[in-house]
Structure formats: C-alpha cells, structure tokens
A = this chain, B = another copy of it.
C-alpha cells in the first residue's frame, strides 16, 4: 500500500474526523451492534491479525479493542508492559513498530508519551490506531462518548452536555468537547473548581467552531439544565491543601440525592469514562439514565466500525 493511502488509515486524533465522517462511522457502528451483542456472526476480517502493543496497562481498553477485532472474525495478539521485555530495552519505539508492523495487518498502540503514536505511524508498514498516548489523545474514547450520546438521546445535534470534575488535565473531556463542537446547536457547561477549568486552547477551538459554552461552579445548577452529565474524576493530588481537596471532591461527587434535588433523576443521562472511585456513587446505577456501563459497551461497536473503515469492509 502507498504511503499516502496508509496515512489515511491511521487513527491518531479526533482532529482528523469531520462531521460527515463521524456520521458515516456511527452508521457502521450501528450495523455492528447486533454483532457486538452476538446476535449475528461476522467474518469480514478472517485472516487478518491485529497486534495490541500496550506500553502501559489498560485492561478495559485492550479488551474492548480485542473484542471488536475478534467479533469481525480477525485474530489478535497482545503484549502488555512491553517496556519490560528484552526487545524494548533501549530499542527505539520506531524499530519496534517497524518490525511488528511487518508481521500484522494493524497495530493498536498505547504509550505513556504524548505524540508517540503519531511518531510510530510515520514508520509503520500497517495502519496504527491510537489507544491513548499519555496526556495526548485517546480518539476512540471520544468517538465512543459521542456515539453514546447519540444512542441515549437519539441525536447529538442540539444536545446540552455538562462536563464535571477535573477539566484541566482530563484528556477525555478535551477530546469530547472538540468532537461535540462538530455538531449543530450543542451547548457545553463546564463544572469544575476554578483551578481545574477547561484550558483556553480547547475553549478557543469551541469558539472557532461556534459552539456555545459557559462555566458554572454549582453541580446542582448544571444538572437542572442539561441533558447529559459527563462526570470525571477529581484527583485529590492536584491540590496542595488536603482539607480543601476533600471539600472540593465532595462538592463534585455525583450521587442520587443531587440528581433528585435537581429534579432530573428520572431523565438525565449520566456518563463517566470509568473507572470511577468516589466521584460517582453506586446509588445512581439504578436510574434509567445511568449510561456509563452502556457507554463502556459501546466502545466495542465503535471500534468495530473503525476497523471496518481501516480495512474497507462492510460488517
């Protein structure tokens, strides 16, 4: 395959997807749903081999990619914590990828270093999918988040989403905000301590796309007005004062009482990239809009759709 053609098949950043491509991808993901649920068997990737190279562990993401590839009839080989193998001792990431990309048909690469996956793609002989490059990108998470909103709300256009928690360092909320800005009439409400607000660089992108956003401090106020509450973890270690940290973490914990007080317990869609710790209470699990496990499950059909696009096959 030519270098240019290969370049189009890497999945590196949400920036590479415009609205039209996202719509097409999500249509394919919907066709993949019955296969993801074992209601239909697909074999379109028969004979294809995927290598999962996880330089840092992420069981959830790894198994989601593995399942997606296998549900389409392909084979998967995984290696986790590759940095401890003799292979990687002192070997450059480029050499590792040059070798493995000559064995297999696609690579999913997760690596702690920002930009490492894009760098790997420049030397790879096969398509590379970014499975998270540290503080950089995690494009398949943003895609599955947007797909979840579409499935839960019926459509993404016109949706009002509140993002709650650590918006400064949270990779997922940055990517999702940028992805949502591609839709029409989307409103974003950011709920975070002042020291953990959404970075200016992301806000600038939203402005450039004409997306409406605002910053509020009260979780209850936000819950009252939005369709979707996207909760993320508030990391105590970001604060120098432990007493202040505990107080803040408490005021950004989403539980059933807050949603009932805001009068939205029966209708609000609650999302979370998981794992959750203290940030999202288990007493929310029974609400009809508790979507975070469905959200995790949607990762499989969305990743199936990406593989269908990469290999030019119909599920």
Contact with A48, one of B38, B60, B62, B102 (Cβ below 8 angstroms): B38
| Cα separation A71 to B50 with both chains bound (whole Å) | 11
A96 to chain B, nearest CB (A): 8
| Cα separation A56 to B64 with both chains bound (whole Å) | 21
| Cα separation A35 to B104 with both chains bound (whole Å) | 11
Determine whether the beta carbon of B47 is less than 8 Å from that of A87: no
Name the interface residues of A27-44: CB closer than 8 Å to any CB of B.
35, 38, 41-42
Determine whether the beta carbon of A41 is less than 8 Å from that of B46: yes
The 8 A CB mask of A259-287 against B (1 = contact, 0 = none) is 00000000000000011110000000000
Determine whether the beta carbon of A49 is less than 8 Å from that of B75: no
Asked if A153 is at the interface of the complex by the 8 Å CB criterion, the answer is no
Asked if A235 is at the interface of the complex by the 8 Å CB criterion, the answer is no
A226 to chain B, nearest CB (A): 24
Query: A103 with B58: in contact, given A47-B41, A90-B277, A95-B275 (CB under 8 Å)?
Result: no
A238 to chain B, nearest CB (A): 17
Name the interface residues of A45-75: CB closer than 8 Å to any CB of B.
46-49, 51, 56-60, 62-64, 66-67, 70-71, 73, 75
Determine whether the beta carbon of A82 is less than 8 Å from that of B95: no
| Cα separation A79 to B95 with both chains bound (whole Å) | 24
Determine whether the beta carbon of B104 is less than 8 Å from that of A67: yes
| Cα separation A79 to B47 with both chains bound (whole Å) | 23
Determine whether the beta carbon of B63 is less than 8 Å from that of A77: yes
**Chain B residue contacts of A56, Cβ below 8 A:** 86
**Chain B residue contacts of A63, Cβ below 8 A:** 51, 77, 79, 100, 103-104
A50 to chain B, nearest CB (A): 10
Asked if A216 is at the interface of the complex by the 8 Å CB criterion, the answer is no
| Cα separation A75 to B35 with both chains bound (whole Å) | 14
Query: A91 with B293: in contact, given A70-B75, A77-B76 (CB under 8 Å)?
Result: no
Determine whether the beta carbon of B67 is less than 8 Å from that of A87: no
**Chain B residue contacts of A294, Cβ below 8 A:** 102
**Chain B residue contacts of A249, Cβ below 8 A:** none
The 8 A CB mask of A274-313 against B (1 = contact, 0 = none) is 1111000000000000000110110010000000000000
A148 to chain B, nearest CB (A): 13
**Chain B residue contacts of A276, Cβ below 8 A:** 91, 95
Contact with A59, one of B42, B82, B297 (Cβ below 8 angstroms): B82
Q: Can you list 6 A-B pairs with a CB-CB distance of less than 8 A? A: A56-B86, A62-B79, A63-B100, A75-B75, A86-B275, A99-B296
Interface residues of A (CB under 8 A from B): 35, 38, 41-42, 46-49, 51, 56-60, 62-64, 66-67, 70-71, 73, 75-79, 82, 84-91, 95, 98-100, 102-105, 274-277, 293-294, 296-297, 300
